[in-house]
Homo-oligomer: A and B are copies of this chain.
Amino acid sequence: MLKKKNKYAVAVIGATGAVGRELLEILEERAFPVSDIVPLASERSEGERVEFKGKNVVVRRLTKDSFQNIDIALFSAGAERSLEFAPHAVKSGAVVIDTSSAFRMAPQVPLVVPEINAHALDGHGGIIASPNYAVVALVLALKPIHDNVKIKRVVVTTFEPVSGSGKEGMDELAKQTVALLNFKDVETKVYPHQIAFNCIPHIEAFLENGYTKEEMGMAGETRKILEDDAIRVTATTVRVPVFRCDAESVNIETEKKISAHEVRAILAEAPGVMVYDDPNKNIYPLAIDTVGKDETYVGRVREDESIPNGINLWLVSDNLRKGAALNAVQIAELLIK
Residues of chain A having any CB pair with chain B under 8 Å: 153-155, 157, 159, 173-174, 177-178, 181, 192-194, 197-202, 206, 209-211, 219, 232-234, 236, 238, 240-243, 247, 249, 251, 260, 279-280, 282, 284-288, 299-307, 310, 312, 314
Question: How distant is the Cα of A177 from the Cα of B155 in the complex, in angstroms?
Answer: 32
Measured between C-beta atoms, what is the minimum distance from A164 to chain B in Å?
A: 14
Chain B residues with CB below 8 A from A305, complex form:
232, 234
Distance of A305 Cα from B240 Cα, bound (Å): 26
A332 shortest CB reach to chain B, Å? 32
The answer to whether A302 touches B197, judged by C-beta atoms less than 8 angstroms apart, is no
Complex formed: what's the CA distance from A260 to B173 in Å? 33
Cβ–Cβ contact B155 & A300, under 8 A: no
Asked whether A202 lies within 8 Å of B284 as measured between CB atoms, the reply is yes
Contacts of A238 in B (CB 8 A): 159, 247, 249, 314
| B314 engages A201 (CB within 8 Å) | yes
Collect the chain B residues with CB atoms within 8 Å of residue A192's CB: 282
Q: How far is the CA of A174 from the CA of B284 in the complex (A)?
A: 24
Number of copies: 2
> A202-B279, A279-B206, A312-B234 are known contacts. Are A306 and B242 too (CB-CB below 8 A)?
no
A233 engages B306 (CB within 8 Å): yes
Task: Classify the interface of chain A: helix, strand, loop or mixed.
Answer: mixed
Q: Is the CB of B312 within 8 A of A236?
A: yes
In the bound complex, do residue B234 and residue A251 qualify as a contact, i.e. CB atoms below 8 Å apart? yes
Cβ B199 vs Cβ A157 within 8 A = no
Closest CB pairs A-B (n = 6): A232-B306, A210-B302, A157-B249, A157-B157, A192-B282, A234-B306
Interface core residue of A201, A251, A312 (most chain B CB under 10 Å): A201
9 A–B contact pairs at CB < 8 A?
A155-B155, A157-B249, A174-B181, A177-B177, A199-B242, A209-B302, A234-B305, A238-B249, A240-B240
Measured between beta carbons, the chain B residues less than 8 angstroms from A288 are: 193-194, 197-198
Instruction: Give the residue of B241, B299, B307 whose beta carbon is less than 8 angstroms from that of A197.
Output: B241
Q: Which residue of B lies closest to A192 (CB)?
A: B282
A236–B314 touching, CB < 8 Å: yes
Please, how many angstroms separate the alpha-carbon atoms of A187 and B197 in the complex? 19
A299 to B236, CA, bound (A): 12
Nearest chain-B residue to A310 (Cβ)?
B234
Bound-state Cα–Cα, A240 to B242, Å: 9
Given contacts A178-B181, A199-B159, contact A193 B306 (CB under 8 A): no
Cα–Cα distance between A181 and B174 once the two chains are bound (Å): 8
Q: How near does chain B come to A259, taking the closest CB pair, in angstroms?
A: 11
Q: Is the CB of A307 within 8 A of B153?
A: yes
Q: B206, A240: Cβ atoms under 8 Å? A: no
